[in-house]
Amino acid sequence: MLCREVAYDKLKYPFPHGFFVEAKERAVLEELGLTGNEAKVYAAMCRAGQAIANDISRESGVYRTLVYDALDRLTERGLVSQITIGNKKYFEAVEPEELMNWFDMQEQRIRAELEAFIPKLEAEYRREVRPTVRLFYGAEGIKSVYLDELRTIPAGENVLIFHSINAKQVLGWFVDYWHKQRTKKGIGLRLILDKKTIGIQRLALLSKLPGSELRVTQEDYSTPVSYHIYGDKVAILSYVPGEMITTLIEAPGVAKGFRENFELVWRKLKPFKA
């Protein structure tokens, strides 16, 4: 029940009898988009039926000047009708069931406005990429970076990797799976590798993979840490036993700096030939 009669001594409003809406029930009307006064006035009109503004004010406990404002807005919403009889204007609430129809129309309107507005929000959100840093642990954490590369790098673009460790020794079959999916998606690969650590046989195999370019360091450059650069992301992968931690940084400026460093080293190395 939205409306009910109560004894005068239980009312907070200065009128001898009347009705009020339970706070919880009034909140439901407000959730539909009505203001507090609109909710009180509408619910009062459910009980009062056709009434003039003075009677609605008395029944709702809303001051008469504010009742007129509420009635105007409720009329605009299609929840109140009015008629002039003689010199008096009478107001009447629509059937409560009409609230559902009004709610449906509100929902459709808001959805349409939101659908039109979301592309603008998306454009604004993507224009200002917020730097983020995430940590992953263990071999599964390393795999999460490889999977993110497959998921986010567009066809025709490259992932840049500076390796000085044979990842297959740690990740096993997953490395071959990644290469297969990478070539299938048209993702290019540019690798700087340590010749001594990786081994000639593995280097020869990698160089034959579609979309792969390899260059090797001339000196022994053995370290259990490598990094991947793709899009606006840099992943620093530690293969240190017991300290297998992956740091994924998403920040355009950071990625740009790592990419420039990679290119600087790349230009100084010769292409690998099996």
Q: What is the pLDDT of residue 260?
A: 96
Instruction: Output 53 or 166, whichever has higher pLDDT.
Output: 53
pLDDT tens for 129-174 read: 578 999 999 989 999 999 999 999 999 999 999 876 667 788 888 9
Instruction: Output 191 or 7, whichever has higher pLDDT.
Output: 191
Mean pLDDT of all residues in 29-56: 78
Asked if residue 244 lies in contact with residue 142, where contact means CB atoms within 8 angstroms, the answer is yes
pLDDT tens for 74-116 read: 888 778 887 788 888 888 887 777 777 777 777 888 888 888 8
| Lowest-pLDDT range of 138-152, 208-222, 229-243 | 208-222
Is the pLDDT reported for residue 46 higher than 90?
Answer: no
Q: Concatenated DSSP letters for 72-87?
A: HHHHHTTSEEEEEETT
Domains and CATH numbers, the chain: 4-96 (1.10.10.10), 131-268 (3.30.870.10)
Q: What is the pLDDT of residue 80?
A: 82
Whole-number percent of the chain with pLDDT over 90? 28
Beta strands (DSSP E) in the chain are 4-6, 18-20, 80-85, 88-93, 132-137, 158-163, 188-194, 212-217, 225-230, 233-238, 245-250
Instruction: Output 55 or 178, whichever has higher pLDDT.
Output: 178
